[in-house]
A and B are shown apart, each in its own frame.
Chain A
Amino acid sequence: MTRDLSSGVSRRKFLLTSSAVGAAGLAGCTQNNDGGSSGGSGGSGGSDDSDDSDSTATGQPLSGTINIAGSSTVFPLSTALGEIFQEDNPEVNINVQSTGSGGGFANFFCVGDTDFNNASRPIKPEEEEQCSSNGVEPVELTVATDALTVIVNNDNDWATELTVDQLADLWSAETQPQQWSDVNSDWPDQDIELFGPSDASGTYDYFIESVLGEEGPGHRQDYSGTEQDRTIVQGVEGSEYAIGYLGFAYYTENSDRVQAVAIDDGDGPVEPSLETARTGEYTPLSRPLFTYPKVSALSEDHIAEYARFFVENTTNQDLVAGDVGYVPLTDDQQAEQMSTLEDAIERAND
Chain B
Amino acid sequence: MGTDDISAELTRNTKNAPPELLTRVFFFICAALSVVTTASIVVLLVSEAAKFFSVTAPLVGFAGETVSMVDFLTGTTWQVGSGEYGVLALVSATILITVGAGVISIPLGVATAIYLSEYASTRARSILKPALEVLAGIPTVVYGFFALIYITPAIQTLLPDTGTFNLAAASTVVGIMIIPMVASISEDAMSAVPDELKQAGYGMGATKFDVSTGIVVPAALSGIFSSFILALSRAIGETMAVTVAAGSQANFLPPWDPTSYLEGALPMTAAMIQLLLSDITGGGLAYRSLFAIGLTLFVLTLTMNIISDVITQRYREEY
Contact = CB atoms under 8 A, between A and B. Distances in A.
Interface in A203-222: 203-205, 208, 218, 221
Contact of A105 (B163, B276, B283): B283
B249 A199 contact: yes
Interface string B98-116: 0000000000000000000
Nearest to A228: B164
Contact of A101 (B80, B165, B275, B281): B281
Contact of B281 (A124, A224, A231): A124
A138 to B, nearest CB: 14
A100 B277 contact: yes
A155 interface: no
A38 to B, nearest CB: 33
A237 to B, nearest CB: 13
A198 interface: yes
Contacts, number: 84
B79 interface: yes
B60 to A, nearest CB: 19
Contacts of A208: 81
Interface hub of B164, B278, B286 (most chain A Cβ within 10 A): B278
B5 interface: no
A71 B279 contact: yes
Interface string A227-239: 1100100100000
A200 B164 contact: no
Interface in B33-75: none
Interface string B160-174: 000111000000000
A63 interface: no
Interface in B268-308: 274-284, 286-287
B175 interface: no
Contacts of A234: 164
Contacts of B248: 198, 200, 225-227
B249 A103 contact: no
B281 A205 contact: yes
B276 A103 contact: yes
B278 A72 contact: yes
B267 interface: no
A98 interface: yes
A201 interface: yes
Interface residues of B, number: 25
Given A200-B80, A205-B281, A224 B276 contact: no
A199 B274 CA distance: 11
Nearest to A224: B163
Contact of A127 (B275, B276, B279, B283): B283
B283 A73 contact: no
A200 B283 contact: no
Nearest to A218: B82
Interface string A170-209: 0000000000000000000000000000111111110010
Contacts of A102: 279-283, 286
B81 A205 contact: yes
A142 interface: no
B264 interface: yes
A208 B281 CA distance: 13
Contacts of B276: 99-100, 103
B279 A205 contact: yes
A319 interface: no
B64 to A, nearest CB: 10
Contact of B279 (A106, A120, A126, A226): A120
Given A205-B81, A234-B164, A106 B283 contact: yes
Contacts of A349: none
B144 interface: no
Contacts of B82: 199, 218
B278 A201 contact: yes
B95 to A, nearest CB: 21
Interface in A76-116: 98-103, 105-107
B79 A107 contact: no
A202 B279 contact: yes
Contacts of B164: 226, 228, 231, 234
Nearest to A106: B283
Given A100-B278, A103-B287, A106-B283, A204 B249 contact: no
B251 to A, nearest CB: 8
B151 to A, nearest CB: 16
A200 B281 contact: no
6 contacts: A103-B286, A199-B250, A200-B248, A200-B280, A226-B164, A226-B249
Interface of A: 71-73, 98-103, 105-107, 120-121, 124, 126-127, 198-205, 208, 218, 221, 224-228, 231, 234
Given A226-B164, A226-B165, 4 more contacts: A72-B277, A103-B286, A199-B79, A200-B279
In the complex, the 10 A-B pairs of residues with the closest C-beta atoms, listed nearest first: A106-B283, A202-B279, A200-B278, A225-B249, A100-B279, A198-B248, A102-B283, A227-B248, A102-B281, A231-B164
